[in-house]
Chain A
Amino acid sequence: MLTDLYVFADSPVHRARPVVKIAALVVLCTSLFVFEGWIAVTVAGVLVFAGFALAGLGPRHAIVSLRPALWILAAIFAVQLYMTDVVFAGFIVARFVVLILAAALVTLTTRTSEFVDGILSALRFAPSWVPKAQIALAVSLFLRFVPLVRTALDDVREAQRARGLDRNLKAILVPLVVRILKTADEVSQAIYARSFD
């Protein structure tokens, strides 16, 4: 199953329209680079903190969002400390933290399906050169086939394990890729068979 990172709750942040949240995120990120300095980072930090509180998200969610970037942020801090001073090193890292948490605030309070629906309905107003139907089809097919490809990958790994080849990536990937390409060909035939142009 494809679950998103959404954290279920009912709050003004959750209820805000996805496009509004994206716009706010873009404005915030841009400002952090245009108005470089502690003032902007502090203001943005307070806003993001308020957003987290309003959405009912706690420190746990913040930590989970930051963890993947933790080591690289530590390394950057060390390099900056060596090159400049603790204030500037702190600023650079703080800016990343605010950026990542701001993005997390949007991600954790918006269902992927809301975004997808929003994009697909926005596509109706897109100019005619945008391949709307194909974008919609690609998204649906992707959501439909991630579970299928996962199953196929498990099958192939199991089959290769029986032959003692389960640590051989090539022995796993060749059958997987060929199988998916064949599937793709039959899927496109099925789409053809089921649609009138």
Chain B
Amino acid sequence: MDTRDVVFIALFAAIVAALAVFPPITLPVVGVPVTAQSLGVMLAGGVLGAARGGLALVLFLALVALGLPLLAGGRGGFGVFLGPSGGFLVGWIVAAFAIGFLTELFWNRLNYVVALAICVAGGVVLLYAIGVPWIAAVAKIPVGTALTGSLPFIPGDIVKALVAAGVIVTVKRSYPIITPRSRTQKQT
């Protein structure tokens, strides 16, 4: 971790914060807000890689917890983590890390389809695998019910993965930051 990595982490955390300006899309069941910020989560991993992407979200969420209203709709403070959907926020860290890890792994073969698969795996499947059981546990409802309640948000998250994948592959061509993880692949 040198100074350059710290700067990337801070500036990407700032991007996630700035994305709060896009108004949250209101779907039938409000509570887990559908915002452009989770797009920032996918970008953090896909542009910065696992360690820096994950840490960017750690920094962002730490300052949210400490009372900066940086989540869409001006939300912040410890309360957002203690509410039923806190798991989705904590899941952002894991999702950014996982997306970054997979992007590093498939770096030399990264195209739109691969990036999309990575964003869906990390930013949708894994994120819900954390957020849904979390709701189920704290609200004492069956996981199946919690999942049903979360289903309406999935289309929005897929759309975000479609956008994020496009951004990730374009940025890779114009300003690559990630160093690939794979050892077996030949450098081209």
Inter-subunit contact B170/A170 (CB<8 Å):
yes
Report the Cα distance A50→B3, complex, angstroms: 46
Whole-angstrom distance from the CB of A34 to the nearest CB of chain B? 14
Inter-subunit contact B68/A112 (CB<8 Å):
yes
Inter-subunit contact A187/B59 (CB<8 Å):
no
Inter-subunit contact B31/A68 (CB<8 Å):
yes
A27 within 8 Å of B (CB atoms) = no
A188 within 8 Å of B (CB atoms) = yes
Report the Cα distance A182→B4, complex, angstroms: 11
Interface stretch, picked from B81-89, B90-98, B102-110, B120-128, is: B81-89
**Given contacts A80-B140, A180-B15, A181-B177, are A72 and B31 in contact (CB under 8 A)?**
yes
Inter-subunit contact B175/A138 (CB<8 Å):
no
Task: State which of A4, A69, A92 has its C-beta within 8 Å of the C-beta of B67.
Answer: A4
Task: State which of B43, B78, B83, B138 has its C-beta within 8 Å of the C-beta of A25.
Answer: B78
What band does the interface of chain B fall in when counting residues whose beta carbon is under 8 Å from A? 35 or more
Report the Cα distance A69→B88, complex, angstroms: 13
A63 within 8 Å of B (CB atoms) = no
Which residues does chain A contribute within 8 Å of B9, judged by CB atoms? 138
**Number of A residues, CB within 8 Å of B:** 67
Inter-subunit contact B47/A177 (CB<8 Å):
yes
Encode A120-141 as 1/0 by CB contact (under 8 A) with B. 0000000000010010011101
Which residues does chain A contribute within 8 Å of B76, judged by CB atoms? 4-5, 107
Inter-subunit contact A141/B68 (CB<8 Å):
no
Whole-angstrom distance from the CB of B139 to the nearest CB of chain A? 5
**Given contacts A104-B79, A174-B170, are A83 and B3 in contact (CB under 8 A)?**
no
Encode A159-197 as 1/0 by CB contact (under 8 A) with B. 000000000011001101110111111011001100000
Interface residues of A (CB under 8 A from B): 2-6, 25, 29, 65, 68-73, 75-76, 79-80, 83, 88, 92, 96, 99-104, 106-108, 110-112, 115-116, 131, 134, 137-139, 141-142, 145-146, 148-150, 152-153, 169-170, 173-174, 176-178, 180-185, 187-188, 191-192
